Amino acid sequence: MMLQTEFAFTLPHGYVDAEGNVHRDGVMRLATALDEIGPMKDPRVQSNPGYLVVILLSRVISKLGELPQINPKVIEGLFAADFAFLQDFYRRINVNGHARVGATCPECEAKFEVEVNASGNDWLPSDRLFEEVAYIAYHFHWAHGQIMDLDHRERRRWLEEIAKINKRLNETG
């Protein structure tokens, strides 16, 4: 079994460069001891210990959109939500060795693990999401985008309605 050392992510908002291009998709690698110790010598960190995370993230993010390089200026330019997301993502992959979190569906109370990502439906297990989308698309002939635009609660409600219709048809058929 190979050790996974790089993890893809999608920022909630994205970094906006000088030309107005938005960069959301990136890759973060596992940190080394040098990644965490090296920045301690930096005068910016010595004068402001909070700057450590800026330098640390600039060292471990290997890709962000189409940017040619990631440096502290890029990290400084992130929206607060993206900065917080990356700090949490860093902690998850470096402490846990993966980007999965435990979750419980608020509707059916099923427990599962999912990969952390910023897009709206990525907290559902992918097999479950595919089943839900396929079921609704088959019965209502809705487009994929229409179904994915529904939040989980609304999508679950449509699944229940389809099940009721099928049950009535089977009872009368």
Convert the pLDDT of each residue in 32-58 to its tens digit.
999 999 999 999 999 999 999 999 999
- Cα distance between residue 125 and residue 140, in whole Å: 23
The token pair that represents 6 in the structure block = 């790089």
| pTM as predicted | 0.60
Count the neighbouring beta carbons within 10 Å of the beta carbon of residue 18: 6
pLDDT in tens, 79-98: 999 999 899 889 888 886 65
Closest CA to 87 of 12, 33, 2: 12
User: What is the DSSP code (8-state) at residue 158?
Assistant: H
The pair of three-digit structure tokens given for residue 46, joined into one six-digit string: 């010595």
Indicate whether 124 pLDDT > 60: no
Range 63-79 average pLDDT: 97
Tell me how far apart the alpha carbons of residues 140 and 60 are, in angstroms, rounded to a whole number.
Answer: 45
